[in-house]
Amino acid sequence: MPQLAPTTSQGGTLVALDPQAKVILDFMAESGFTFEGKTPEELRSGMGLTAMPSPIELASITDRTIPGPAGEIPVRIYRPSTDAGLPVTVFFHGGGWVVGDLESHDHCCRVIASKADCVVVAIDYRLAPEAKFPAAIDDAWAATEWVATHGDELNVDASRLAVAGDSAGGNLAAVVANISRDHEHVEIIQQALIYPVTDGTCDRPSMTENAEGYLLSRNAMDWFHEHYTVTVEDLSDPRYSPIFSDLAGAPAAVVVTAGFDPLRDQGNAYAAKLLEAGVDVDHVEYEGMFHGFFSMDAGLNVALEAQDQVAAALKDAFAR
Active site residues: 167, 261, 291
Q: Which residues pair with 63 in a beta bridge?
A: 76
Among left, alpha and beta (phi > 0; psi -120 to 50; other), residue 14 is beta
Look at residue 152 and give its three-state secondary structure. Answer: helix
Choose among 275, 108, 133, 136: nearest CA to 194: 108
d(CA 218, CA 291) in angstroms, rounded, equals 12
DSSP string, 178-241: HHHTT-TT--EEEEEEES----TT---HHHHHTSSSSSS-HHHHHHHHHHH-SSGGGGGSTTT-
Cis peptide before 129 (omega within 30 of 0): yes
CA 240, 244, 247 angle in degrees (round to 5)? Answer: 110
Supply the angle between the helices 301-319 and 106-116 in degrees, to the nearest 10: 50
Rounded CA gap, 252 and 236, in Å?
24
Q: In what order do the strands lie in the sheet with 252-258?
A: 60-66, 73-79, 119-123, 86-92, 156-166, 188-194, 252-258, 281-286
Residue pair 257/271 in contact (Cβ under 8 Å)? The answer is yes
